[in-house]
Amino acid sequence: MNLGIRRNLRRWILKGNNVYCPCCKQSFATFLPAGKPIRLNASCPFCGTVERHRLIWLFLEQNPEKLLQVKLLHIAPEPPFFDSFKNRRDIHYFPADKFMKGHKYPSGTKHVDVMSINYPDNYFNAVICNHVLEHVSNDKQAMKEFFRVLKPGSWAILQVPIAYTNAETFEDSNITTPEDREKYYGQNDHLRLFGRDYPERLREAGFDVDCIDFVNAFSMEDRLRYGLDEKDGIIYLCKKN
């Protein structure tokens, strides 16, 4: 595609009004393709968020009480969330990640290994961890750590990619090469392929889990407008009672 066509296509996308990103409050003709395999109407041209980010954003917008006067641990903070949360006086914000080569996170992000979280028991009111546990060598230990650092009566949103056609999570210690991980898990840096048993893994860590089919709260028209994925529209809301 020559430079002139690319420029015209970009102008058309940016000037459109068919889709709307709630994260950056911008409208476009379409969201951009993203992922492997390619998903259409997926990535925001302005802030780079994809379907899973917009899903959580909309959920929190519709449930604003969850972010009132909270101490929030946010793992692998996505820039639009970081920019919003850090400026809110009612959120004591702890953006965190286990820093890896080539990964860039906003200034102020703290070093945290989710399998051994360096905070006391019952410390946070809320945790958000979006598409991280598939990269962790021991996801069950990480879930236990999230449960440990949450105060009773608090909540966590712990999202992962799930193969809903699979009843059970698949992981094999013999699958070690990037090529095999991509073949069996769908991405070369994933360490398992979660199945429909994902909520049970969370319950084993101690959580009460509400599986909220949030995407179906929207009309088909609004799903297209917000660029939501019908196949991955469940919010896993975990509670520590």
b/e burial code for range 160-189 (CB count within 10 A of at least 16 → b): bbbbeeeeebebeeebeeeeebeeebebee
Q: What radius of gyration do the chain's Cα atoms show?
A: 18
Q: Is the pLDDT of residue 102 over 70?
A: no
Do 41 and 67 lie in one domain? The reply is: no
Residue 143: burial class (beta carbons within 10 Å; 0-12, 13-18, 19+): buried
Same domain, 31 and 94: no
Coil, helix or strand at residue 55: helix
Q: 9 and 95: one domain?
A: no
pLDDT on residue 9: 62
pLDDT score of 115 more than 70: yes
Please state, for a pLDDT cut of 70, what percent of the chain lies above it. 92
User: Count of domains in the chain?
Assistant: 2
Looking up residue 143, the CATH number of its domain turns out to be 3.40.50.150
Whether the per-residue pLDDT at 3 is higher than 60: the answer is no
pTM for this entry = 0.92
- What average pLDDT score do residues 45-49 get? 93
Residues 169 and 186 reside in one and the same domain = yes
Read off the pLDDT of each residue in 43-61 and give the average, rounded to a whole number: 96
Domain region containing 95: 50-240
Q: What is the pLDDT of residue 98?
A: 84
SS (H, E, C) 223-238: HHHHCCCHHHCEEEEE
Higher per-residue pLDDT: 11 or 216: 216
What mean pLDDT, rounded, does the chain reach? 92
Mean pLDDT score, 195-223: 97
pLDDT (mean) for 98-117 = 78
My answer on whether 73 and 40 are in the same domain is no
Packing angle between helix 51-62 and helix 79-86, nearest 10 degrees? 30
Same domain for 213 and 107? yes
Q: How confident is the model at residue 2 (pLDDT cuts 50, 70, 90)?
A: low
Written as six digits, the tokens of 131 are: 């598409």
Identify whether the C-beta of residue 110 lies closer than 8 Å to the C-beta of residue 95.
Answer: yes
Predicted confidence at residue 131, as pLDDT, reads 96
Same domain, 38 and 149: no
Judge if 129 and 41 occupy the same domain: no
126-176 confidence digits (pLDDT tens)? 999 999 999 999 999 999 999 999 999 999 999 999 999 999 999 999 999
Same domain, 107 and 22: no
